[in-house]
Chains A and B, each alone.
Chain A
Amino acid sequence: MTPNEPLLRWEWILDHADEIWQRLLEHVTLTVLAVGIGFALSFVAVVLIRRYHYLREPLTWLTGVLYTIPSLALFAVLVPVTGLTRVTAEIGLVSYTLLILIRSILDGLLSVPAEVRETAIGMGCTSGQLLWRVEIPLAVPVVIGGLRVATVTTIGLVTVTALIGQGGFGYFILLGMQRFFSTALIVGATLSILLAILADGLLVLAQHWTTPWTWERRRQA
């Protein structure tokens, strides 16, 4: 962006291969932790909502408000309390996954046809068996749909945590902005988008392999 500076310096990329690899690991770690913890919390929330229906409204409201807060603002408010740490990054990242994941798990369980549920009860399933052996497997496609959105969103938000000293590929974007260095900008931006597309593709494959009963139907259709 300064005169005579090429848009992309290939030798810079080759020189920094090690660092790019380290940032990839950081990006993946931050994402997997956030989506994993977010999923566990959402699952617990859904189990609670199924037992105590009155929790649904306040939990939806709370996760909705969390989701509306701009990421930069949320990370910024946490900094005075938890510092420039991975914990700060994860608190923010996890809270953004909750709205999407709770909703998709609830929708997934609701998508199980009533006849299927009644048949299972008629065959003598306990409520635990109904949940674990009938409803959860049938909810997989919708739940993975939610996981895809949550993962892609999180990979994008991880870049923002560069501002609090984390960030994965976001580090390169921030570096590029501070030094007007377009190579770092383009490397950081491109790799974070590629990572999102790759993760999305992997989850589509996971959805395919975890729902073998849909294969036959698709072939017939």
Chain B
Amino acid sequence: MDVGETETGVSTVLATLAWLADPIHWHGTDGIVTRLVEHLALSGTSLLIAGLLALPAGMYLGHTGHGAQLVINVLNVGRALPSLAILGFALPFSFWLGLGLGFWPTVMMLVPLGVPLILINSYVAIRSVDREVLDVAWGTGMRGWEVFREVELPLAVPIILGGVRNAAVTIVATATMGALVASGGLGRYIVDGLARQETGRLVTGALLVALLSIATEAAFDVLERVGVPPAVRAAHHLDTLRVPGVGAGG
């Protein structure tokens, strides 16, 4: 078929089903299982690095109360950076570091996408802890580190988790673009499907990536239910705390 020409929806569905029905497409180095694992490895590594950078920084800024303006600026700059543009910078940088194509330039694109989302929520989370609660903590004799560990952190968990969730969904969605710089992952099917003009491969890739994004979101729903103490959860309206402007693998 020719991707450049339009065709009916029915033939697209048939081509996709035929592609999925072929066992060759499930196993081996270009199989769905391998690509899924690669996609999760790319996303997991990037989320981990972003979390290690942004969680301590955001919580520290929130605890000391300094740097609100800085945080807002970081978020705005983060929003202005299109992922493909970051990838454009990451590729020569990766070569310069001797890390080459594929995995590492993709991680270099994904980490800066995740950092502002986690940072802003960690900062806001700690800041939003009721001042009166902190006064009580100080009154009972708690000091800096104790106040943070015993009071601020537990109360802040839901919003912090919301930030990690935003970052995870964005990273999983955008990891797709790694295929442009020869990384693995489900994006391979989309990029190769376009190049080879194979509708089945193209649509399968798109569907799998969309499903994985939605599954990531669902996984964090479960995590929020399990990981947040009921009393803290009741005090927050989780749905209103998600930062808008997340997703879309921009």
Contacts and interface: CB of A to CB of B under 8 A. Distances in A.
Interface stretch (B61-69, B124-132, B170-178): B170-178
Contact of A193 (B1, B81, B177, B187): B81
A189 B86 CA distance: 7
A82 B23 CA distance: 29
B244 A100 contact: yes
B82 interface: yes
A68 B4 contact: no
B241 interface: no
B71 to A, nearest CB: 17
Interface stretch (A39-47, A123-131, A180-188, A212-220): A180-188
B88 interface: yes
A137 interface: no
A69 B7 CA distance: 23
Interface residues of A, number: 50
Contacts of B72: none
Tell me what chain B mostly uses at the interface: helix, strand, loop, or mixed: helix
B206 interface: yes
Given A76-B190, A76-B194, A84-B4, A186 B80 contact: no
Contacts, number: 166
A185 B92 contact: yes
B89 A189 contact: yes
A80 B245 contact: no
Interface stretch (A9-17, A48-56, A111-119, A148-156): A148-156
Interface string B134-167: 0000000000000000000000000000000000
A68 B92 contact: no
Contact of A76 (B11, B80, B95, B202): B202
Interface in B203-227: 203, 205-207, 209-210, 213-214, 217
Contact of A149 (B79, B213, B217): B79
Contact of A80 (B84, B88, B202): B202
Tell me what chain A mostly uses at the interface: helix, strand, loop, or mixed: helix
Interface string B178-196: 0011000001001101100
Contacts of A189: 82, 84-86, 88-89
B93 to A, nearest CB: 10
A143 interface: no
B192 to A, nearest CB: 11
23 contacts: A68-B247, A68-B248, A69-B173, A70-B248, A71-B250, A72-B206, A73-B209, A73-B249, A76-B205, A81-B7, A83-B3, A99-B244, A156-B85, A157-B250, A159-B82, A160-B82, A160-B177, A160-B250, A162-B84, A173-B84, A177-B91, A182-B91, A196-B82
Interface of B: 1, 3-7, 9, 11-12, 15, 79-89, 91-92, 95, 169, 173-174, 176-177, 180-181, 187, 190-191, 193-194, 199, 202-203, 205-207, 209-210, 213-214, 217, 244-245, 247-250
